[in-house]
Amino acid sequence: MPKLSKITLLLTLGYFLLWVAGPLCIDPRLMWLGMPLWFWLSIIAAPACLVLALCLLRMKNVL
């Protein structure tokens, strides 16, 4: 499998795991800034980590 395909699959898997981890692993009663904590992990942190990983890979000329 080409290198780009492996990287893409790994990034997608990482994004999915962060997205799913929020609602499954965090108690919905935990709140931060008026929103459930799982919201911050799934909706904010997962895409931010994906973009950060893509930027880092681009800076290292992996992509």
Which residue ranges make up each domain of the chain? Answer: 23-63
* 10 or 26, greater pLDDT: 10
pTM of the entire predicted model:
0.68
Burial annotation 2-15 (CB, 10 A radius, 16+ → b, else e): eeeeeeeeebeeeb
The reported pLDDT for the residue numbered 1 is 58
**16-48 tens-digit pLDDT:** 888 887 778 778 888 888 888 888 888 888 888
